[in-house]
Amino acid sequence: MKTAILFPGQGSQYVGMGKDLFDGYAEARQRFERANEVLGFDIASVMFGSGDESKAEAEGEALKQTDVTQPALLIHSMASWAVLQSRGVAPAMAAGHSLGEYSALTAAGALTFDDGVRIARERGRLMAGAGSDRKGAMAAVLGLDAAAVTSACDEVTSEGDGVVQPANFNSTDQVVISGDASAVERAMSLIGERGARRVIALPVSGAFHSPLMEDARAGLAEALDSLEIRSPACPVYLNVTAEPTRDPEEIRRRLLEQLTSPVRWTQIMQHMKEAGADRFIEVGAGKVLSGLAKRTLGRDAATAQAGKFDELADITPA
């Protein structure tokens, strides 16, 4: 059996995330405590929340801030991964969706935990700034193939009313588009006319994976250049290419390209299956990636969430 580990990106966060890990597993608790030291503030408390329903809305808004969300998701994934490692789980391959790619690289040893936390925080800060400087929008398209969505985006962009492009190829019937608000609105209308089952505007703070993130590029390049990136212990499938690599310099280059390029998640799932993956473990908050795996590979695709630690013990690559 070949196991692939998958790491979620922004949108999977929720108040209370990680509290069960902190309370129940010493390995996970060490991750949260170290993250607090690295960041210089108590991010664990932001993640866990107070449990006071009267504060739930404000706490949710605090966790939605991009420069908090991104390190929070990486920390949660690494806390889960620490428990899985202690139980002998050894993946044959790894991938992460958007921010999750940094989690995958940290889990595979290409980045240290400290560096993973720092770069996630800096990436979030830079992306938040770019989103504030140039307002954008994103929308999810359901039930229309990628070629038709791409064609509609290209048509709208060619009209000159801003830019819009596919941001996430999530599954064979789900594509997320991103760009200038006016162009996204026009594309949503056009895509609806061309037969999409649903087109849903997303509540986001920026037009991620589009040229609107270009203002974050110089800062992210500088941050990535300062990182020590090692060869990962297993192949990591990259968002930009959907291909596996263990080359540190390609990883560095593609992480920068990822900022303004689409996430090719559908192809990643297909390529992992072609490489022999027959079980996919989602390591982190939520179960979005498990659902996308089934939508792309079929309902019989073997998926699991990392929280079921005892069931996942002793999974090793074939």
Cα radius of gyration rounded to whole Å, the chain: 19
98, 171, 205, 210: the catalytic one is 98
Active site residue 209: yes
pTM score of the predicted model? 0.95
Range of weakest confidence among 144-148, 204-208, 303-307 = 303-307
Assess whether pLDDT exceeds 90 at residue 291: yes
Q: Is 271 a catalytic residue?
A: no
Over residues 155-212, the pLDDT tens digits come to 999 998 899 999 999 999 999 999 999 999 999 999 999 999 999 999 888 899 999 9
**299 band by pLDDT with thresholds 50, 70 and 90:** confident
Tell me what the mean pLDDT of segment 243-253 comes to: 98
CATH architecture of 2-131+213-312: 3-Layer(aba) Sandwich (3.40)
Domain boundaries defined on the chain: 2-131+213-312, 136-205
- 99: its two tokens: 């921010």
Catalytic residue among 103, 209, 210, 290: 209
Instruction: Quickly state the pLDDT bin for 228 (edges 50, 70, 90).
Output: very high
Strands 136-142 and 174-180: antiparallel
In this model, does residue 226 exceed pLDDT 50?
A: yes
Per-residue model confidence (pLDDT) at position 311: 62
Model pLDDT, residue 312: 63
**Quick one: pLDDT band at residue 310, thresholds 50, 70, 90?**
low
Q: What value does the mean pLDDT take over residues 107-113?
A: 98
pLDDT value at residue 250:
98
Domain over 136-205 is classified CATH 3.30.70.250? yes
pLDDT band at 317 (very low <50, low <70, confident <90, very high): very low
pLDDT digits (tens, 9 = 90+) for 1-42: 799 999 999 989 999 999 999 999 999 999 999 999 999 999
